[in-house]
Amino acid sequence: MPWINLTVREGALTTEQRHDIMARLTDALMFWEKVPDTPEARRFMKGWVYEVAADADYNGGSPDHEKPFYFIDVRIPSGRLDVLAKQGIMRDFTEIVMRIEKSERIPENLNRVWVTINEIERDDWSIGGHTDWLRSYTSALSAE
pLDDT tens digits for range 84-119: 999 999 999 999 999 999 999 999 999 999 999 999
What confidence category does residue 141 fall into, taking pLDDT thresholds of 50, 70 and 90? low
Residue 136 has pLDDT above 70, yes or no: no
> What's the one-letter identity of residue 94?
T
- List of domains in the chain: 3-142 (3.30.429.10)
Average pLDDT of the segment spanning 71-91: 96
- CA distances to 74, 78, 80, 82, 131 from 33, rounded to whole Å, are 12, 11, 6, 9, 21
pTM: 0.88
Rounded-to-integer distance, Cα 140 and Cα 44, Å: 8
Task: With beta carbons less than 8 A apart as the criterion, state whether 59 and 114 touch.
Answer: no
pLDDT tens digits for range 17-72: 999 999 999 999 999 999 888 888 888 889 999 999 988 888 889 888 889 999 99
Residue 144 has pLDDT above 60, yes or no: no
Short-list 78, 65, 85, CA closest to 123: 78
- Measured from the Cβ of residue 93, the count of other Cβ atoms closer than 10 Å reads 25
Quote the pLDDT of residue 41. 84
Residue 68, class by beta-carbon neighbours within 10 Å (0-12 exposed, 13-18 middle, 19+ buried)?
buried
Quote the pLDDT of residue 105. 96
Quote the pLDDT of residue 143. 53
Rounded-to-integer distance, Cα 99 and Cα 24, Å: 10
